[in-house]
Amino acid sequence: MVVEVMDMILWTLYFSFLGAVLVLLLPGRAAKWAALSVAVATLAAAFAGASEYMSVSAQAPWVTLAKSPWIPSLGISWHLAADGISITLVLLTALASVAGVLFSWNVAHRPKEFFALYLTLIGGVYGVFFSVDLFLFMVFYEIAIIPKYFLIAVWGSTRREYGAMKLALYSFIGSALSLAGILAAYAVAGGHTFDLLELASYPFPPQFQYWAFPLVFVGFAILAGMWPFHTWAPTGHVAAPTAASMLLAGVVMKLGAYGCLRVAMPLFPIGLEEWSLFFAGLGVVGIIYGALVALAQTDFKFVIGYSSVSHMGFVILGLMTLNAVGLQGAVMQMFSHGVIAGLLFAVVGRMVYDRTHTRELSELGPMQLYRSMPFVTVVFVLAGLASMGLPGFSGFVAELMIVVGAWRGIPWMAVMAGLGILLAAAYTLRVMQLAFFGYGDNSSENSHSDMSKIDAISWPEKTGAVLLLAASLCVGLRPSLLLDLIAPAMNTPLVQVILKGAGS
Amino acid sequence: MISKTWETLLVVKLLWIIPAIPMLAAGVLALTPRGYRRMAASLAIGSMVLAFLFSCLAFYATMIPLPYSEAWRQSYNVPWFDIGHETVRVGWVLDPLSALMLAMVTFVGTCIFVFSTGYMAEDENFTRFFGFLTLFAGAMLGLIISNSLLLLFICWELVGLASYLLIGFWFHKPSAAAAAKKAFMTTRIGDLGLLIGMVWLYSETGTLLFYDGGFGCLETKALIGLVTPAISGGTLAVTGIALLIFCGAIGKSGQFPLHVWLPDAMEGPTPVSALIHAATMVAAGVFLVGRMLPLMGADMILFSGSSPTLYIVAMVGSFTALFAALIAVAQTDIKRILAYSTVSQLGYMMMAIGVGGYPAAIFHLLTHAFFKALLFLGSGSVIHGCHHEQDIRRMGGIAGSMKITFATYAVGMMALSGVPFFFSGFWSKEAILHAALTWTPSMLPFIFGLCGAFLTAFYMTRMMGYVFFGNYRGDSCHAPHESPATMTVPLVILAVFAVLLGFAGTSFWPWCQSYLTAQRVRFGWEEFLHAWPLTGGSIAMVAAGIGLGWKLYISRPVGGADAPDILETMHPKIYNCLKNKFFVDEFYAATWVRWCGAFASVSDWMERFVWGGMMRGAAFFTACLALLNSETDERVVNGSFDGGCKVLKASSGKLSLFQNGKAQRYLCVIGAAFALLLLALEMGVKL
């Protein structure tokens, strides 16, 4: 059903790609302003789209945005649609992209190319969230990955070629697995359509689903940082420039989780039921394992990188609960982690590293950053509290919902997830004290006086930090802001097939 | 018959204002520059006074529905968010328990806020200090009025956060930073139990509201629903949930085995110790168990009248009461002695709830809040007067120079020790011991309680001897001095209440207990006379404790600052064991903390070598393959191609000789060809 009123949301996609071209045409000095205007415009479009969706979601939780044939001979069409889940992630992407531009304000090396690639990446991400045609989905998926490689390889830091290559290889292996599974499904279903809605309603034989589901699921889950396919994430985050690591943690990892939820799970509900316990277990292992590894890191950014692995474990667990509470919790967690991890990476990469030129905790400690950077300290403390799931921030509601959802299916996994929340407090408090407060009052007078020469925190940084913190707080205090978007999506056929498959 | 006059309904509806006032103040203070000290203090104290006035109004509202024919309880719930078809609601409840707690927290809080203006006067982060204090007060008041386990949990975490921030307020001291982290992590271990218990409760009953017009989780319908599967041989959900929730209380209230954080928390400024780690937040665990009492005791039906949950509560509480009192005997830091004393007294409260003396427990909570806040503030005044000295061995003989502090401290000490008749601690402890004596499942709580009473009297007398009697053993160039009025006035006020409050719950006029259980209070001596043998016994214990303390530490003054404790010379081994707190910290450091570190290292190693190794292995394999390919390319593919090219080039080079553009060569070739053709025709070749 085509609802005419939903026409704002697609502008996010168009603006991004047009913006990428525009940035290339403008002189280099204007690049960041152009990118910021584009990002703000997409944010406005996303908000407008979300409010439009709210007004129609009760009657039509699934809104078709565009549908026309593209390559009819293969059954490929330009089919875009949105529901509450995709709109939530579009909102997240829009927020993260505005913040990312703000935190890249100091990019001086080839800014035109930087922002053009950046906007292309964003556009690819929007495309994935809207695609219903699986071929189109994979096209946008690859569009999102390729700029990533260049952003890291050209503008990155520590072992950037290694990190970029590792990330690109993992991503391509993942998408190759998914594509193989999708092509198999296409062939089994008769080979005349790539349309997700049609494929999802095709009764694939159980024997086929048993092997096709893990293929497609793992393919996407690699990008979501699922243990044990997570190792690209921390190295990639560390190597990436600030904006790229923000997008990587904030948005690109969500692409993987979205692929799991949107493609793998509804296509193969029988396979899903068979494998859900196994993948829930991997999610739980990821939660605990990521937190433990974060506890042992000596590099500030690696701590945040591994905390992402831990938090994305919650998303996997939430998806595998196969009930409405757990699924909504998983989507909430995607949003929450996107905002919080983005902020944490911004603090580490832009605010701290660009000024101190070190990320070693043992070197940061004696600098006593709380004296020279009070604003950054407060932001990091708040972001850290949000990351450890303190009530009032978005992470609490999300993790609580996932634990409730998990308890209904597999109680001991809920307990293990709770243990993960406990460990999150441990590594966050540890890194907070080591990085910002250090010890010893007088031993460090020299480094202290060095630190007084650092640049002040600029307005784009402040704006970006406040934007992300406010997003996390708003959702934490009023979860209905997002849940009212997500809840209608539970009635769409693609989600219903997951919930029904689990017999609930 | 529930009276629903418009005033009371309005009060319940607007109850949220009480926590909102300090919260708002905290918000304003967070944005206040550090220079505005006077404004910060006035705002904080003003918000607390206002909250106190509103609390009094709420307290008054609970007194209206006389006669106490039925439990007076009003709640008001609002939806927070929807998960699909389930609406999560939060709300607030006004009943005797919350009304008493509100009044106590706001009153004690106001006293401590005023005291802080004097105690923290020289601190550069004065404004931030009051910001954190008001944040704490708001969260604590929210915790008290919560009518939903979810809202309670949220406030519970926020008070934990405020506690973390305030313990680590002087974070440049490594010990303070470590103590803050330890406190947060240890209580969070308990909170994990609470979280799981909450999730389990929600899954079983579908609501987290306590009271909801018959549908709350503490109301009969839900409780029957919880117990029913167990009767039919199912899981013991109700016991499991109750024990998990109790885990949260163990963490917050410093019960064994999670008591280790509370003494370390004394690294925070003394007003913080008084407010958070003595009077209010640490009592939240007791409050939680008291609030959830219908659930805690629900498994009673299954076990013919004795609830296993409450049995465990009683045992944990009584063991902690004795255990912490023993440790307190051998400590030398004035605040740590009080901290162990707090742990011990919280144990008493837990024990009281466990043995069925819920009103006694809450009464003791209230009296304890006053006299322990008094003692902590008094110790703050002593520390302030002795120039930030906390070691009681370096004090002594300051009774003369700090008269008000001494007098009020003595009142607090006698209230805590349970000196008969005129001190509040006596009556509340008496009520607890009475409840323990009448509890049938076990006599251990009563015996532990009695021994604890002896020890409490003893260690408090020891402390008095060390601090106020004998000669001053500190730095002689700085004589101790009395504190300013902002500090002594709150002491006097608290001292007055440490005495008067006892008369609200005596055994001949148990107003507080009756009020809590919504009964009409009766005046009569029967109860008092009936309990006389017990009263006599406990008075004897207190007298023995004070007497022994007097004999060892006051009649014979302590020697020098470095002289060993008299108990140490008598029983060095026992004393050493007590002094080292039964080595619990060392045990945890050697086990859990180390294991956690080891797990982290193993995971890190796996990350580097196993997953990283696999990655590198794959990369190496790929590189080898690539090398092989490139060799193949070079030798086989390129080689043959190049070879082919070479042959082609060479042959074409030769062929090109025939096309070098020279006419002679062409004619020559044509001639030769012609000759060959003729020759061939001649030979008879047929064309």
Asked, for residue A449, whether it belongs to a domain, the answer is no
Closest C-alpha among B569, B538, B543 to residue B556: B569
Task: Tell me what pLDDT residue B20 has.
Answer: 92
* Alpha-carbon span A152 to A155, nearest angstrom: 6
Query: Which of B604, B621, B625 to substitute to test the interface with A, most A CBs within 10 Å?
Result: B604
Residue A257 has pLDDT above 90, yes or no: yes
Q: Which residues neighbour B233 within 8 Å (Cβ) at sequence distance 6 or greater?
A: none
Of B177, B199, B612, the CB nearest to A433: B177
Task: Tell me what pLDDT residue B387 has.
Answer: 79
Task: Tell me what pLDDT residue A356 has.
Answer: 83
Beta strands A76-82 and A63-71: pairing type?
Answer: antiparallel
Binding-face residues of B in 178-217 toward A, CB within 8 A: 181, 184-185, 188-189, 192, 195-196, 199-200, 202-203
Residue B654 has pLDDT above 70, yes or no: yes
CB B541 within 8 A of CB B457: yes
* Alpha-carbon span B670 to B447, nearest angstrom: 134
A163 class by beta-carbon count within 10 Å (0-12 exposed, 13-18 middle, 19+ buried): buried
Choose between B9 and A278: higher pLDDT: A278
Beta strands B86-94 and A76-82: pairing type?
Answer: unpaired
Query: Which of A170, A173, A227, A293 to substitute to test the interface with B, most B CBs within 10 Å?
Result: A293
Q: Quote the DSSP letter at residue B193.
A: H
Given an 8 Å threshold on Cβ–Cβ distance, is A392 in contact with B196? no
Residue A299 bridge partners (DSSP): A360
* Alpha-carbon span B242 to B674, nearest angstrom: 118
Of A230, A429, A487, the CB nearest to B181: A429
pLDDT band for position B5 (cuts 50, 70, 90): low
With both helix axes pointing from N to C terminus, report the angle between B174-205 and B220-231 in degrees, rounded to the nearest 10: 80
Given an 8 Å threshold on Cβ–Cβ distance, is B82 in contact with A483? yes
Q: How far is A441 from chain B (nearest CA, A)?
A: 6
Find the closest chain B residue to A482 by CA distance.
B81
Type and span of the H or E element at A67: strand A63-71
Asked, for residue A450, whether it belongs to a domain, the answer is no
By the CB < 8 Å criterion, does B83 face chain A?
Answer: yes
Task: Tell me what pLDDT residue A475 has.
Answer: 92
Residues in A closer than 8 angstroms to B612, CB to CB, are: 231
Residues in A closer than 8 angstroms to B604, CB to CB, are: 292-293, 296-297
* Alpha-carbon span A278 to A221, nearest angstrom: 13
Asked, for residue A210, whether it belongs to a domain, the answer is yes
Given an 8 Å threshold on Cβ–Cβ distance, is B86 in contact with A325? yes
pLDDT band for position B401 (cuts 50, 70, 90): confident
* Alpha-carbon span A127 to A80, nearest angstrom: 8
Q: How far is A353 from chain B (nearest CA, A)?
A: 23
A278 class by beta-carbon count within 10 Å (0-12 exposed, 13-18 middle, 19+ buried): exposed
Query: What string of H, E and C letters represents the secondary structure of B36-75?
Result: CHHHHHHHHHHHHHHHHHHHHHHHHHHHCCCCCCCCCCEE
Residue A24 has pLDDT above 90, yes or no: no
By the CB < 8 Å criterion, does B626 face chain A?
Answer: no
Given an 8 Å threshold on Cβ–Cβ distance, is A292 in contact with B604? yes
- pTM (2 d.p.): 0.87
* Alpha-carbon span B439 to B485, nearest angstrom: 47
Predicted confidence (pLDDT) per residue in B167-218, tens digit: 988 888 888 888 998 899 899 999 999 999 999 998 888 888 888 888 888 8
* Alpha-carbon span B159 to B461, nearest angstrom: 33
Token readout for A356 is 């101190």
- Rounded-to-10 torsion of CA B139, B141, B147, B149: 40
Q: How many CA atoms lie within 13 A of A365 on its CB side?
A: 16
Residues in B closer than 8 angstroms to A469, CB to CB, are: none
How crowded is residue B377: how many other Cβ atoms within 10 Å of its Cβ? 35
CB B185 within 8 A of CB B177: no
* Alpha-carbon span B381 to B642, nearest angstrom: 96
Residue A2 has pLDDT above 50, yes or no: no
pLDDT band for position B1 (cuts 50, 70, 90): very low
Asked, for residue A452, whether it belongs to a domain, the answer is no
Task: Tell me what pLDDT residue A217 has.
Answer: 93
* Alpha-carbon span B361 to B350, nearest angstrom: 7
Alpha helices in B386-484 (DSSP H): 403-417, 424-437, 444-468
CB A243 within 8 A of CB A101: yes
Residue A2 bridge partners (DSSP): A64
Query: What string of H, E and C letters represents the secondary structure of B637-681?
Result: HHHHHHHHHHHHHHHHHHHHHHHCCCHHHHHHHHHHHHHHHHHHH
Of A224-228, B614-618, B645-649, give the lowest mean pLDDT range: B614-618
Find the closest chain A residue to B244 by CA distance.
A415
Find the closest chain A residue to B169 by CA distance.
A437
Task: Tell me what pLDDT residue A442 has.
Answer: 46
Residue B525 has pLDDT above 80, yes or no: no
- Total beta-carbon pairs less than 8 A apart between chain A and chain B: 108
pLDDT band for position A504 (cuts 50, 70, 90): very low
Of B83, B185, B603, the CB nearest to A426: B185
Given an 8 Å threshold on Cβ–Cβ distance, is B177 in contact with A439? yes
Mean of the pLDDT values across residues B98-107? 92
Beta strands A76-82 and B74-83: pairing type?
Answer: unpaired
Positive or negative, the CA dihedral A156, A367, A429, B113 is negative
Given an 8 Å threshold on Cβ–Cβ distance, is B600 in contact with A296? yes
Of A231, A403, A411, the CB nearest to B612: A231
- Rounded-to-10 torsion of CA B164, B169, B174, B178: -10
* Alpha-carbon span A127 to A124, nearest angstrom: 5
Rg (CA), chain A: 22
How crowded is residue B229: how many other Cβ atoms within 10 Å of its Cβ? 14
CB B193 within 8 A of CB B199: no
Q: How far is A259 from chain B (nearest CA, A)?
A: 23
What's CA B344's distance to the chain center, in Å? 16
Q: How far is B610 from chain A (nearest CA, A)?
A: 10
Asked, for residue A46, whether it belongs to a domain, the answer is yes
Query: Which of B81, B85, B171, B625 to substitute to test the interface with A, most A CBs within 10 Å?
Result: B81
By the CB < 8 Å criterion, does B625 face chain A?
Answer: no
Of B157, B196, B603, the CB nearest to A293: B603
Q: How far is A124 from chain B (nearest CA, A)?
A: 28
Alpha helices in B330-402 (DSSP H): 334-354, 358-385
Residues in A closer than 8 angstroms to B596, CB to CB, are: 295, 426
Mean of the pLDDT values across residues A388-414? 90
Residues in B closer than 8 angstroms to A297, CB to CB, are: 604
Find the closest chain B residue to A410 by CA distance.
B200
Asked, for residue A37, whether it belongs to a domain, the answer is yes
Residue A82 bridge partners (DSSP): A63
Closest C-alpha among B496, B498, B493 to residue B111: B493
Predicted confidence (pLDDT) per residue in A185-231, tens digit: 998 888 888 888 888 888 888 899 899 999 999 999 998 888 888 88
Rounded percentage of chain B residues whose pLDDT exceeds 90: 27
Token readout for B447 is 């015996």
CB A436 within 8 A of CB A377: yes
* Alpha-carbon span B449 to B402, nearest angstrom: 33
Q: How far is B524 from chain A (nearest CA, A)?
A: 49
Given an 8 Å threshold on Cβ–Cβ distance, is A392 in contact with B607? no
How crowded is residue A59: how many other Cβ atoms within 10 Å of its Cβ? 10
Task: Tell me what pLDDT residue B476 has.
Answer: 66
Q: How far is B197 from chain A (nearest CA, A)?
A: 10
Mean of the pLDDT values across residues B512-533? 78
By the CB < 8 Å criterion, does B125 face chain A?
Answer: no
Confidence check on the interface: ipTM exceeds 0.85, yes or no = yes
Predicted confidence (pLDDT) per residue in B574-608, tens digit: 888 888 888 888 888 888 888 888 888 888 888 88
CB A396 within 8 A of CB B151: no
Asked, for residue A12, whether it belongs to a domain, the answer is yes
Mean of the pLDDT values across residues A320-337? 92
Task: Tell me what pLDDT residue A4 has.
Answer: 52
Given an 8 Å threshold on Cβ–Cβ distance, is A430 in contact with B181? yes
Mean of the pLDDT values across residues B282-297? 90
Q: How far is A174 from chain B (nearest CA, A)?
A: 15
Q: How far is A329 from chain B (nearest CA, A)?
A: 9
Structural domain span for residue A230: 2-444+457-501
Closest C-alpha among A278, A312, A279 to residue A387: A312
Query: Which of A295, A498, A499 to substitute to test the interface with B, most B CBs within 10 Å?
Result: A295
pLDDT band for position B21 (cuts 50, 70, 90): very high
Token readout for B20 is 């909102």
CB A339 within 8 A of CB A295: no
Task: Tell me what pLDDT residue A181 has.
Answer: 92
Residue B42 has pLDDT above 80, yes or no: yes
Query: Which of A292, A377, A478 to substitute to test the interface with B, most B CBs within 10 Å?
Result: A292
Asked, for residue A386, whether it belongs to a domain, the answer is yes
Q: How far is B598 from chain A (nearest CA, A)?
A: 9
Residue B2 has pLDDT above 50, yes or no: no
Predicted confidence (pLDDT) per residue in A439-478, tens digit: 655 444 444 445 556 777 888 888 989 999 999 999 999 9
SS3 A107: coil
Q: How far is CA A197 from CA A494, A497, B121, in A?
A: 7, 11, 69
Q: Which residues neighbour B466 within 8 Å (Cβ) at sequence distance 6 or greater?
A: B392, B393, B395, B396, B553, B558
Query: Tokens 């039919």 appear where?
Result: B232
Predicted confidence (pLDDT) per residue in B160-181, tens digit: 999 999 998 888 888 888 899 8
* Alpha-carbon span A482 to A340, nearest angstrom: 16
Task: Tell me what pLDDT residue B232 has.
Answer: 63
Task: Tell me what pLDDT residue B67 has.
Answer: 52
Q: Which residues neighbour B382 within 8 Å (Cβ) at sequence distance 6 or greater?
A: B334, B395, B398, B402, B405, B409, B467, B480
Q: Considering its fold, how many domains does chain A have in total?
A: 1
Predicted confidence (pLDDT) per residue in A83-113, tens digit: 889 999 999 999 999 998 998 888 888 888 8
Q: Helix, strand, coil shares of chain B as percentages rounded to 5?
A: 75, 5, 25
Given an 8 Å threshold on Cβ–Cβ distance, is A426 in contact with B81? no
